[in-house]
């Protein structure tokens, strides 16, 4: 499993928040889905499509000390925080840069944190373990730092967390069944994403139909 692409498990869209003791609820971070693979001092970052992007994020050289296991695969979201909220455009900017000098500058202006929410592997695969067992492993495994940190979650109280994310202008929440297994490459109803939608009144000035639709 180590250092080979793994397609992450994906949530299904859901309209309304809910409370349920069989679920936990996490903030929905707005960034890049990243799977971190570690073996000794080597750490590699894989995107959800299997691309290796480690060279875009030199911060990862320090990530090995935050993961208390010789080997590990963590499912994360790479985010850039601005005014207390994750901003997709900022991490997208980091991911586009290839020039070494500009990357070094961007590490200061757009620092990236990898928020870990699942552990798939240490000395063996954990994907067939219930989510809450994996969560316990995760919090034992990850020493919180500015580079890698475990995500927060609320036990059973989705409505309260959804309201908090609305107040803070975050993207929304993800609900996960406590007994859910990790099934790579699937979109499952055991994980549900509930977004904070924004509406505006807009005037359409023009659109095209060929070669494809676009405003």
d(CA 4, CA 70): 17
128, 179 Cβ separation under 8 angstroms: no
Six-digit token string for 174: 């993800």
d(CA 193, CA 22): 16
d(CA 188, CA 2): 24
Q: Identify the three-state secondary structure at position 44.
A: strand
Active site (annotated) includes residue 135 = no
d(CA 53, CA 46): 6
Q: Do the bridges between strand 19-27 and strand 172-177 make them parallel or antiparallel, or are there none, so unpaired?
A: antiparallel
Of 7, 15, 28, 38, the catalytic one is 28
The vertex-80 CA angle with 75 and 84, nearest 5°, equals: 110
| Alpha-carbon 83 to chain mean position | 19
- CB burial of 176-194 (b: ≥16 within 10 Å; e: otherwise) equals bbbebebeeeeebebbbbb
Q: Identify the three-state secondary structure at position 62.
A: helix
Catalogue the active-site residues: 28
């Amino acid at each position: 499993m180590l250092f080979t692409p793994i397609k992450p498990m994906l949530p299904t869209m859901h309209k309304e928040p809910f409370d349920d003791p069989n679920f936990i609820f996490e903030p929905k971070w707005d960034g890049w889905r990243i799977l971190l693979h570690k073996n000794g001092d080597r750490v590699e970052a894989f995107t959800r499509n299997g691309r290796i992007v480690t060279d875009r994020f030199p911060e990862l050289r320090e990530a090995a000390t935050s993961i208390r296991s010789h080997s590990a695969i963590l499912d994360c979201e790479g985010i850039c925080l601005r005014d207390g909220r994750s901003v997709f455009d900022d991490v997208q900017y980091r991911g586009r840069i290839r020039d070494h000098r500009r990357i070094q500058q961007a590490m200061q202006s757009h620092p990236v944190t990898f928020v870990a929410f699942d552990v798939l592997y240490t000395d063996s695969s954990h994907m067939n373990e219930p989510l809450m067992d994996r969560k316990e492993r995760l919090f034992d495994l990850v020493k919180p730092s500015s580079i890698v940190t475990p995500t927060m979650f609320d036990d059973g109280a989705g409505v309260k967390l959804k309201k908090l994310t609305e107040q803070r202008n975050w993207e929304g929440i993800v609900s996960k069944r406590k007994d859910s297994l990790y099934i790579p490459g699937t979109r499952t109803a055991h994980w549900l994403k509930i977004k904070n939608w924004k509406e505006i009144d807009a005037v359409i000035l023009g659109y095209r139909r060929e070669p494809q639709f676009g405003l």
